[in-house]
Amino acid sequence: MFLDEVLRRSVEKYPQKEAVRDSVCSITYTELDEMSNLIAYELNNKKKKLKEPIGVFMDKTIQCVVTIFAILKSGSAYVPIDKTLPAFQIRRIIKDAGIKIIVTDMEVCRLPVVNIIIYKEIRRGKINNKGTIVIEKNRSERDVAYILYTSGSTGVPKGIEISHKASLVFVLWASSYLNITAEDTFSSHAPFSFDLSIFDIYCSLSSGATLVLLPHGGSAFPKTLCKFIFENKISIWYSVPSILIKMSEIDIFEKCKENLRCIIYAGESMPVKFAGKLMNLFLKAEFYNFYGPTETNVITYHKLSTKDLQYDQIPIGKACPYADIQIKECDLNDGYGELIVRTESLMNGYRDRKEISSKDYYSTGDIVITVGHDEYVHIGRLDHMVKVNGFRVELEEIECVIEKYPGISGCVVKYEKGEKNILRAVVETNEEIKETELRKYLSKMLQPYKQPAVIEFCSSIEVTARGKKQR
């Protein structure tokens, strides 16, 4: 089975039901199917190789969802490219992924690719594609469906290749476990370049539910989010916990309890006191904690109960049915160890690197401990990777960027948890550096969530006996 087939099955069952809605309009399942066929036909005319990845450089709209399904139908993998990325990172992703075709919603788009397809030109009929899309029969479930790029410690993004099969084992399990039906309405909060979007798109459209796309920039305003959930009668919500925490502080959030039946969070831990606050607010809703790196998708799950509120930390839960989890001993206290997993949801590998078999154990780098009946609690990381508002951030990447600034000889970036989780940069310099100028530089080199909230200057950063930075 393939990801695009979930749409075909829903078209057969719910042809005239609303499939996707954005701030401008909505389309039915039949319309989504026919529109994606149109784009897929044009893509097949443009491609030189059947399975070459295709870039998606679009705002999060109905047109973007149409394009994603068109790419899948054409037999290729889609590569969602975040428009807010610095230009040099966009170029780097295009080069690393080997993208020759990009579909965009921009009237004028200058990117280093062979073919730029303007979505509106196809819809206006400027491109002659009256043929019927023929889906390649020689496809394999192990073929790459999409490539998501995450930051690397050196600042070079890594392309994570996920197959149809790896995605579907999660999508089909989650849809069944959460009892998702055609009566549900999903909020699409996460960017399509973020792995949480896989749940939103495919769990909703495989079940005949309606997917409502949050307008660009809406996530920055808690009051706007609350209004969005209420007005669209959202029943399934999936986001990082920091968003839920911000909304819980808005009085009108209480109005959302009429329709919200399932609230899922992932990407970072939820402070127990806020979990209690939300559970008291939404007495009829069920709360779930999903865990898993982008490389594996979700591999553990935990349904929250009032019993969890007695402890210091909420578990990441037990292994999903398709995942075999073990704890690898390391130089820590007894009982603690690194979570390693063998799972059908494992990526094929990193772009242009050796493929990984789902029969191999993947090292997550996360430190866990077992509690209760085969449940796990997340303790920390072995490396310097952290989650900021659910986005994966390599502290060493930020340090590398800061250290390239003239006059700076060293840098340490720390992640500080509290009421507001922040990044703090300690910068080593013997010159007078204006913080405003440094921040202008960082705004061009890093996405907003990677930019330190606090920057401190010092003449010397201490080092350990081995010569490493004294974090």
Q: Which domains does the chain have, with CATH numbers?
A: 5-216 (3.40.50.12780), 292-381 (2.30.38.10), 388-458 (3.30.300.30)
State residue 468's pLDDT score. Answer: 53
pLDDT at 333 over 70: no
Helix (H, G, I), strand (E, B) or coil at 293: coil
pLDDT at 130 over 60: no
Separation in Å, CA 333 to CA 269, 312, 337, 363, 368? 21, 18, 8, 19, 11
Residue 421 pLDDT grade (very low, low, confident, very high; cuts 50, 70, 90): confident
User: For residue 238, which phi and psi values (nearest 5 degrees)?
Assistant: -140, 120
**Distance (Å, whole) CA 176 – CA 345:** 16
Predicted confidence at residue 415, as pLDDT, reads: 86
Higher pLDDT, 78 or 125: 78
Nearest residue to 422 via CA among 395, 459, 457: 395
Instruction: Using DSSP, state whether 194 is helix, strand or coil.
Output: coil
List the one residue out of 226, 212, 231 whose CA is nearest residue 60: 212
On average, the pLDDT of the chain sits at 87
Q: Is the pLDDT of residue 184 over 90?
A: yes
Q: Which residues of 247-281 are buried (b: 16+ CB within 10 A; e: fewer)?
A: bbebeebeebeebbbbbbbbbbbbbbeebbbbbee
Q: Tokens 């909420």 belong to which residue?
A: 314
Tell me the torsion sign for CA atoms 56, 60, 61, 62. positive
pLDDT at 48 over 80: no
Mean pLDDT (whole number) for 70-94: 91
C-alpha–C-alpha distance, residues 405 and 286, integer Å: 48
Average pLDDT over residues 123-136: 51
Name, in order, each residue with C-beta under 8 angstroms of 343's C-beta and a sequence gap of 6 or more. Answer: 296, 299, 320, 322, 323, 324, 358, 362
User: Distance between CA atoms of 239 and 262, rounded to whole angstroms?
Assistant: 12
Residue 245: predicted pLDDT: 83
Matching residue, tokens 């700076």: 408
Strands 391-394 and 385-388 turn out to be antiparallel
Q: Where are the beta strands (DSSP E) in 316-361?
A: 318-319, 323-329, 336-343, 349-350
- Residues 175-203, mean pLDDT to the nearest whole number: 95
Phi-psi region of 290 (alpha: psi -120 to 50; beta: other; left: phi over 0): beta
Sign of CA dihedral 33, 205, 267, 162: negative
| Per-residue pLDDT, 129 | 46
Structural tokens at position 1: 């089975």
pLDDT recorded at residue 137: 60
pLDDT band at 332 (very low <50, low <70, confident <90, very high): low
pLDDT above 70 (res 144):
yes
Whether residue 124 has pLDDT greater than 70: no
Query: Which pLDDT score is estimated for 339?
Result: 94
Residue linked to tokens 């085969």: 374
Q: Does position 464 have pLDDT exceeding 60, yes or no?
A: no
